[in-house]
Structure 1
């Protein structure tokens, strides 16, 4: 493990042979459920760095934390077949990674797309899910939220410097994320981008933008209520950004009606998706995992 950064890099093969990557924090921690962190559509394992450090070293019950890079993101290889960039394939990749690590069950934290993957796992491999944290995602996705994602991915600026990149993120997301500090914005830019000879570049396969652009938002989006209902016996915490355009307050209310033991947190001054290392979220997430661990025995 890198003592300076608090994690080790883990590489493994997907079912189709693609080389994939994950970060492992608190590798020696045992005796309690590990935590699996699944990022959003174009994001990567770096999104969870501060939260993972908290859960693995600072929490009352330190846990092993595994944060995955999906294929085409972060340090995972890009896929020549863009049809493989879908939640079904990515769910299979996560299961392959867990098998390679010898993890049979874990608590899962899913931001946006990560939460959709958890819905898939609930139908295909429910025994792997011991507790769930949804970060601004549920069984109904609002078209206006997807349209916003489409818009900023298609029109993403090409900043030349780090400062320009921070300004660009503020210009797009500042209204939804009034609670963020300068340090938060800087951390966001570092997580989203990689340093190259051409300067900062988004750390994902550019073909992902083509997939998002191809979504027809004039048609009703399918809901995942049957998949969500399959999670009914699993301890669940749903975090929603107060300014979220993707997860509505109505959907959050319905989720509570479907899932009798669901807990909720609304994060003021943040949109889609809240930064899990901000405010008191690290302590709240750790406490939820401890309660779920005790209740499930």
Structure 2
């Protein structure tokens, strides 16, 4: 099993981001993992260990965006935006002296890649989009708003796992008890004896109060820029954010795109389960 090291990298506006590097001595083009809206680098812990070990032996860098996990919370919450977070990714790449990388973007992480397509396309060698595409279904966005607004504070990690199962279990029948416990450890942290969600509440509030009455603009122009890159999209079988129609249109516009389904999972799939890691590892080696 490849070792990991933690780095804390300061971006231009002074905030420090938590970065975890697996297989730091592995050669070749590195893999950079970008998590979702309220998630952090622990989402990729199992996947990164698989990709950093033989037969893939990749250097894998996972980044917690500002306000998530052990990264600094922003005293100016209005800076929790996808363009700002895209700039943070470039700052991390620059400080790690990475010219280009393969990227895995889950949900918001994949939206960051759509921004980078317009600003730093040359830094993207190939990409995996995890349950995200150029069109976000409003039903899925409203679902996220709903559970961000109603999440209870657990008394302990066991209760946190039960809250996650009660909230998401219908869309994730593939997950067992150990999976929910593992997810709770990734999404919550103990602070002063209390188990709390491991992200700045301002992030959830910003999203929860967003006006979705008109939907969101599509990102087909940004996707068009990405079509010159090798690409994979993973869709959760029960996802309400990324529709089968959107995936079909992505394949039509990018005939080389590899589209796979995460059976028994919703938004967003855990990428180390059900052979997904091996599918991703094979794609990265092509």
* Aligned residues of 1:115 and 1:134 also touching (Cα < 8 A): yes
Equivalent residue, structure 2, for 1:27: 24
Match status 1:199 vs 2:194: yes
Match status 1:210 vs 2:219: no
Counterpart of 1:121 (choices 112, 116, 129) is 116
Q: Deviations over 1:211-245 (max 9, x none)?
A: 01221111131100000010111000000001000
Structure 2: which 5+ runs fail to align? none
SS class of match (2:152): coil
Distance 1:144 1:6 in 2: 40
Counterpart of 2:48 (choices 41, 45, 52) is 52
Equivalent residue, structure 1, for 2:242: 247
1:115-194 mapped onto 2 (5 Å cutoff): 115-194=110-189
Question: Once the 2 structures are TM-superposed, how far is the Cα of residue 199 of structure 1 from its aligned partner?
Answer: 2.1
Distance 1:128 1:181 in 2: 38
Distance 2:35 2:250 in 1: 21
Q: Deviations over 1:118-164 (max 9, x none)?
A: 00111100010011000000000011111111111110011101211
Distance 1:106 1:246 in 2: 26
Question: Once the 2 structures are TM-superposed, how far is the Cα of residue 200 of structure 1 from its aligned partner?
Answer: 1.2
* Aligned residues of 1:15 and 1:92 also touching (Cα < 8 A): no
1:232-243 mapped onto 2 (5 Å cutoff): 232-243=227-238
Task: State the 4+ residue runs in structure 1 displaced beyond 6 angstroms.
Answer: none
SS class of match (1:174): helix
What's the TM-score, normalizing by structure 1?
A: 0.94
Structure 1: which 5+ runs fail to align? 292-297
Distance 1:33 1:79 in 2: 31
Equivalent residue, structure 1, for 2:95: 100
Distance 1:113 1:287 in 2: 24
Distance 1:77 1:166 in 2: 25
What's the TM-score, normalizing by structure 2?
A: 0.98
SS class of match (1:175): helix
SS class of match (1:92): helix
Counterpart of 2:36 (choices 40, 48, 54) is 40
Question: Once the 2 structures are TM-superposed, how far is the Cα of residue 177 of structure 1 from its aligned partner?
Answer: 0.2
Match status 1:82 vs 2:77: yes
Counterpart of 1:7 (choices 4, 9, 13) is 4
Distance 2:63 2:172 in 1: 25
* Aligned residues of 1:37 and 1:67 also touching (Cα < 8 A): yes
Question: Once the 2 structures are TM-superposed, how far is the Cα of residue 198 of structure 1 from its aligned partner?
Answer: 3.3
- Aligned residues: CA RMSD: 1.1
